[in-house]
Amino acid sequence: MQVGALIIGDELLSGKRQDKHMQALIRILAARGMKLAWAEYLGDDPARIESALRRAFAGSDLVFSFGGIGATPDDHTRACAARALGVPLALHPEAKALLEARFGDEAYPHRIHMGHFPQGAAIIPNPVNQIPGFSCGHVHFVPGFPSMAWPMIEWVLDTHYRQLFNDQPDIEMTCIAIAAKEGDLIGLMQDFTTRYPSLKLSSLPNFGNEAIPQMHIEFGFAGQPALVEIAMAEWVKVLRERGYEVRSI
């Protein structure tokens, strides 16, 4: 089960606000030995949001959706989720109780809409202001406010997905080959990709910088620690045998 993110809001695409959710999600997952497989940014366009949610519901990934679950006219996510699932929006009884406890009579007529979720949804507790998010299967919806969204994500992971935690997470090891050219090493990279199919080999050419003025390539292996160490040791040995100066990072 891979993990993905849908990050919603015109303000992110216009540059009015900088997204903080993706880096936070990467950190939250890494603390549990997990990693983010993909992320998608969406404006406040109901058709695009609905289309993205249809894909999320149809897939098998664990998905976190950020933003658009408030009560203002530009908050489309709850309605889009219901349409994507083909179910009506319904006032969740537990959400109703939370909103009435939080706002009293002022929950009506507008704030109560924040408790209307796709029929059959489960709530996600909000430790900051008690206005809940919601889950529909393996897709989980949290507010756009970081102070609320991040602890809610941690609650979802710790409550429902402990089986995905990894106490020996993947690592990445890198090295730099001075004066190397990718075209000269494609065959070698193909050999190592075949030899270590469970590892990810990366190649990042650089035409020189202040630290290393010569052209160079940063090579990396990512995967389980023991295998990464073996592959990197072999890689460095082969590069040096071919006459390259190799530096560790």
The per-residue pLDDT for 249 is 81
Cα–Cα distance list, 210 to 107, 179, 207, 213 (Å): 59, 15, 11, 6
Contact 81, 53 (CB under 8 A): yes
CA 81 to chain centre: 19
User: CB count, 10 Å around CB of 71?
Assistant: 16
The per-residue pLDDT for 208 is 81
Q: CATH for 3-164?
A: 3.40.980.10
User: CB count, 10 Å around CB of 158?
Assistant: 11
CA 144 to chain centre: 14
Contact 51, 19 (CB under 8 A): no
The per-residue pLDDT for 30 is 85
Task: Transcribe 201-217 into DSSP letters.
Answer: EEEEEE---SS--S-EE
pLDDT values of the chain reduced to their tens digit, one per residue, 249 residues: 899 999 999 999 999 999 999 999 999 998 898 999 999 999 999 999 999 999 999 999 999 999 999 999 999 999 999 999 999 999 999 999 999 999 999 999 999 999 999 999 999 999 999 999 999 999 999 999 999 999 999 999 999 999 999 888 889 999 999 999 999 999 999 999 999 999 999 999 998 887 888 899 999 999 988 899 999 999 999 999 999 999 988
The per-residue pLDDT for 33 is 87
Q: Do the first three CATH levels of 3-164 and 171-248 match, i.e. the same topology?
A: no
Separation CA 34–CA 127 (nearest Å): 24
| DSSP state letter for 16 | S
The per-residue pLDDT for 210 is 79
Domain ranges of the chain: 3-164, 171-248
Q: What are the residues whose beta carbons fall under 8 Å from the beta carbon of 115, sequence distance 6 or more?
A: 91, 92, 95, 96, 98, 99, 132
Q: Rounded to the nearest 10 degrees, how much is the dihedral formed by the CA atoms of 193, 194, 195, 200?
A: 30
100 forms bridges with which residues in the sheet? none
Rounded to 5 degrees, φ, ψ at 222 are -125, 140
Whole-structure pTM value: 0.79
Q: What are the residues whose beta carbons fall under 8 Å from the beta carbon of 47, sequence distance 6 or more?
A: none
Q: CATH for 171-248?
A: 3.30.70
Separation CA 1–CA 73 (nearest Å): 34
